[in-house]
Amino acid sequence: MAQLWGGRFTKETDKLVYNFNASISFDRKFYEQDIRGSKAHVAMLAKQGILTEEERQKITAGLDGILADVEAGKLEITSEYEDIHSFVEANLIERIGDAGKKLHTGRSRNDQVALDMKLYVRDEIDEIDGELKKLLMALQAIMEEHIHTYMPGFTHLQKAQPVTLAHHVGAYFEMFRRDRSRLFDIRRRMNTCPLGAGALAGTTYPLDRAYTAELLGFDEPTRNSMDSVSDRDYVIELLSALSTVMMHLSRFSEEIIIWNSNEYRFVEIDDAYSTGSSIMPQKKNPDIAELVRGKTGRVYGALTSILTTMKGLPLAYNKDMQEDKELTFDAIDTVKGCLALFTGMVSTMQFRKENMEASAKNGFTNATDAADYLVNHGVPFRDAHGIVGQLVLTCIEKGISLDELPLEEYKAVSPVFEEDIYEAISMRTCVEKRITYGAPGPDVMEQVIAANKEYLENN
Ligand code: ARG
């Protein structure tokens, strides 16, 4: 049990208490960030004349050695230390002697952990952003290929009007693009350096906080030391943004599960991304999509948990805040894993174009267009709606689509119909006529795809 604070205590900590209090089992994850922060801190201390240049060099070399040994697997981060900060400091002193004892000058674990967590979150935001970009590129590739792949668009999960696969996938492109922009906002807002806030009230040493901030890539130091050590807003914002990413992934997963079902057969998930059944030989299950949908719950859970942890905390630091880590780490790893797998799954998935188009036709998705045909020939829309409703009923009785209904049947309900009705209600026409910006019509779709391309090139 290696502790940094034994001085005022006369008794050993109870073993259970020690274990309950310790955070090494999870804060070991940010050993690199902890060392990076310490190096910046000593560089600043030396610049301010609080440490000598020789001490700075010794400490920095010692810290570099610890980092290298941990990464090479030569130095293990064990539960013999209370937390990652104690681990690094104890190892430093062991390596370089007394100079190591000066590392913590003008610093508290409160501002140290606030810094480590920010550095970690910031690094992970960049990684998640990279995964989101890969997903967007996969979606863009599908969109480019499927401008003329017709499928039913749904409302209430009932076939509504024809769209294209490019258009449907384009909706998800927008969602994941917003997710990136949310992460960007969070990163910008959180990019202030808490180091130098001390335990809560700053320090008596002449620290140059702006210098440390700059060394660590922050825009500026935080403005209030009490807020610095007790702010976890950025964790909450991150978990909220990650919950939204998961919500998007989960909705898309749900659609893929439906599309992959025996009834729909719009897609075929690649063998590499499906699993079988131990008893039913015919089965090929969309487990990856189901797991992504399922894991959404634990990310929402992390958000609810941290919001609840923070709600009653008085200023400034309280140990409750140690609870910010495990769930955040888990949520980050979950999201990164889900994004990577999901990207792999969608980019290897086969789209069954014929089934999609047949489904659009069989679902009367062109009924609105048949009514529009009448309107274009002078029939008031409300009458046209009724006429086409009658035709749909006839088709249902006969078990056929509007495309298959003979012209006599059309004419029997309204003499306005001519042979060109079939062209007017073809999937191609229905989609091509949807020319408003943002609609599935091929010209406007091309414009959006070009805009997406430019966005991906510049962001
Ligand atoms: N393990 C602690 C945390 O995660 C580090 C800060 C401890 N500070 C303290 N005064 N006990 O929040």
Neighbours of 17 (CB within 10 A): 10
| CA 72 / ligand 1 centre spacing (Å) | 27
- The verdict on the CB of residue 23 being under 6 Å from ligand 1 is yes
- 148 catalytic per annotation: no
Q: In this predicted structure, what is the pLDDT of residue 2?
A: 62
CA distance 18 to 81: 10
- The verdict on the CB of residue 321 being under 6 Å from ligand 1 is yes
- The verdict on the CB of residue 113 being under 6 Å from ligand 1 is yes
Identify any residues that bridge with 158 across adjacent strands, giving them in sequence order: 155
Beta carbons of 13 and 72 less than 8 angstroms apart: no
CA distance 285 to 300: 25
Ramachandran quadrant class, 196 (left: phi over 0; alpha: psi -120 to 50; beta: rest): left
Percent of the chain surpassing pLDDT 90: 93
Spans of the chain, pLDDT less than 70: 1-2
| CA 310 / ligand 1 centre spacing (Å) | 15
312: tokens are 């009653």
Q: In this predicted structure, what is the pLDDT of residue 13?
A: 83
Burial 221-235 (b: 16+ CB within 10 A, else e): bbeebbbbbbbbebb
- The verdict on the CB of residue 405 being under 6 Å from ligand 1 is no
CA distance 183 to 200: 28
Reduce the DSSP state of residue 220 to 3 states and report it: strand
Q: Which of 79, 277, 347, 359 is catalytic?
A: 277
- The residue whose C-alpha atom lies closest to atom 11 belonging to ligand 1 is 319
- The verdict on the CB of residue 322 being under 6 Å from ligand 1 is yes
- 347 catalytic per annotation: no
CA distance 456 to 459: 5
| Type of residue at 296 | T
Q: In this predicted structure, what is the pLDDT of residue 64?
A: 98
pTM value surpassing 0.85: yes
264: tokens are 């729909």
Q: Which of 156, 225, 359, 426 is catalytic?
A: 156
- The verdict on the CB of residue 213 being under 6 Å from ligand 1 is no
Pocket perturbation via mutation, ligand 1, pick of 319, 320, 325, 328 by most ligand atoms within 8 A of CB: 319
Pocket perturbation via mutation, ligand 1, pick of 79, 83, 195 by most ligand atoms within 8 A of CB: 83
* Cis before 412? omega within 30: no
311: tokens are 């709600």
- The residue whose C-alpha atom lies closest to atom 4 belonging to ligand 1 is 322
pLDDT (tens digit per residue) in 154-210? 999 999 999 999 999 999 999 999 999 999 999 999 999 999 999 999 999 999 999
